[in-house]
Structure 1
Amino acid sequence: MTWISIGKVAEFFGVTTQSIRDWTKQGRLEAIRTLGGHRRYNLEGIEKKLGFENENKKTILYSRVSAHDQKEDLVRQKQELKNYSEKHKTSNVVEISEIGSGLNYEKRGLKKLLSLILNDNVKQVVVSYKDRLMRFATQILEQVCTAKNVELVVLNERPEKKFEEVVVEDVLSVLTVYCAKIYGRRSHERRKKRQNKKRTSTGVSNSNKE
């Protein structure tokens, strides 16, 4: 029987030693104490537990498009991800698909994905293209996946573009988002003014009746 330190256990699960202490208190892991008061864990038991945890973790099939007129592309992405899942006989699959800008970090699907990863419920994330996750800052999400031992599978690589093309596309993406916000706000203000006028005119009509 081999006994290992709490630090080694934390490395196995890809979490902090504090998480291991919490799991031990919750009864999820068993430990003994050395004469010096240090926790020691049975290696064989940890390996079994780790295998069980991995079996119950999810594979996320994530697809996204930026606008409603791209629904056909969304359907294509979803089918491609399903084909990959079936080919590799993936179990415990969760599909997340949504329509929204890659610059919007408040999307419901993306927030659900991050929540599952941060709560150690994911073993693999599969996407058609890397930029389907986020338009920018994908490296941050990759680092989160690495820290949580989550495999990020990208099925397709886009052709290499010139630096100038990349910059132009990025600028256009930012402008599109902020223009949409401006137009949306103006539309909201106009709608609000119409509603106020309607209320005012209704109030005047009622007072005339009295």
Structure 2
Amino acid sequence: MRVKEWAALEGLNEQTVWKWCREGRMPVAVEKAGSVWLVHDPKYEASGAPAAGSRTVCYVRVSSADQKVDLQRQADRLKAFALNLGASGVEVVSEVGSGVNGKRRTLNRILADPTVGTIIVEHRDRLARVNAGLVESALAAQGRRLIVVDDSELDDDLMRDMTEVLTSLCARLYGRRAARNKAEAALKAALDA
């Protein structure tokens, strides 16, 4: 495949990859055919794309049993979004549990299932309050993907990280239900000071 295609698949800058080709520093085999560099990466040439499952799963979660009414609304919005993307055979999986707790059986089952190629969530914190980026990176390394429908919660990485840490700490101190409100109040107080 061409350098431009390989760089896009790997999430690298095209200019950097061309430089690596010229300097002989490419991590995979390359060849120059006339004026074009061709990249021979076994993980893409075997199937034409990263190995991924074919199933699309919409994951919906609420924190407590008194919020169960919101599960169906979340599920409807995500299923409509997935169908607009052109996905077929979309599954909706729901769970009631804290976003801070990593012991969520349903989410762990989805993440461990290699036939699930795409996971769709409404907000990043529906997947996990802390370290959702690590989950996304792990999925991408397997050729799978995470789609966050509304990723407008916090655009600033530092603010997102602070909110995640504060949410985790507040959850331990005050209980999981009020953790996010306490974290946001602490951030607002810190910014106003």
> What is the TM-score when the length of structure 1 is the normalising length?
0.54
RMSD: 3.2
Q: How many residues align?
A: 135
Q: 1:156 aligns with which of 126, 150, 159?
A: 150
Which stretches in structure 2 are left out of the alignment for 5+ residues?
1-28, 30-39, 178-193
The answer to whether the Cα contact below 8 Å between 2:59 and 2:119 also exists between their aligned partners in 1 is: yes
Q: 1:142 aligns with which of 136, 141, 158?
A: 136
1:140-170 C-alpha deviation (Å, 9 max, x unpaired)? 2011111111121111124439959836544
Counterpart AA for 2:115? N
Counterpart AA for 1:63? V
The answer to whether the Cα contact below 8 Å between 1:102 and 1:133 also exists between their aligned partners in 2 is: yes
Corresponding position of 1:110: 107
SS where residue 112 of structure 2 aligns? helix
Q: 1:8 aligns with which of 27, 38, 41?
A: 41
Which stretches in structure 1 are left out of the alignment for 5+ residues?
13-42, 180-210
Q: 1:92 aligns with which of 89, 94, 99?
A: 89
Counterpart AA for 1:174? R
SS where residue 80 of structure 1 aligns? helix
Distance 2:95 2:129 in 1: 14
Distance apart, 1:102 and its partner CA: 0.9
Distance 1:79 1:70 in 2: 15
Q: 2:115 aligns with which of 121, 128, 133?
A: 121
Corresponding position of 2:170: 172
Percent identity, aligned pairs only, is: 27
The answer to whether the Cα contact below 8 Å between 1:59 and 1:124 also exists between their aligned partners in 2 is: yes
1:86-133 C-alpha deviation (Å, 9 max, x unpaired)? 2223123222110001122121111111111xxx31221100001111
Corresponding position of 1:67: 64
> What is the TM-score when the length of structure 2 is the normalising length?
0.58
- Higher mean displacement: 151-160 or 62-71: 151-160
Corresponding position of 2:22: none
Which one has the bigger helix percentage?
1
1:161-207 C-alpha deviation (Å, 9 max, x unpaired)? 9959836544322324489xxxxxxxxxxxxxxxxxxxxxxxxxxxx
The answer to whether the Cα contact below 8 Å between 2:59 and 2:121 also exists between their aligned partners in 1 is: yes
Corresponding position of 1:183: none
Largest Rg, 1 or 2 = 1
Counterpart AA for 1:58? R
1:62-84 C-alpha deviation (Å, 9 max, x unpaired)? 01111011112222211111111
The answer to whether the Cα contact below 8 Å between 1:57 and 1:92 also exists between their aligned partners in 2 is: no
Q: 1:177 to 1:113 in 2, by over 3 A?
A: farther
The answer to whether the Cα contact below 8 Å between 1:101 and 1:177 also exists between their aligned partners in 2 is: no
SS where residue 110 of structure 2 aligns? helix
Counterpart AA for 1:112? R
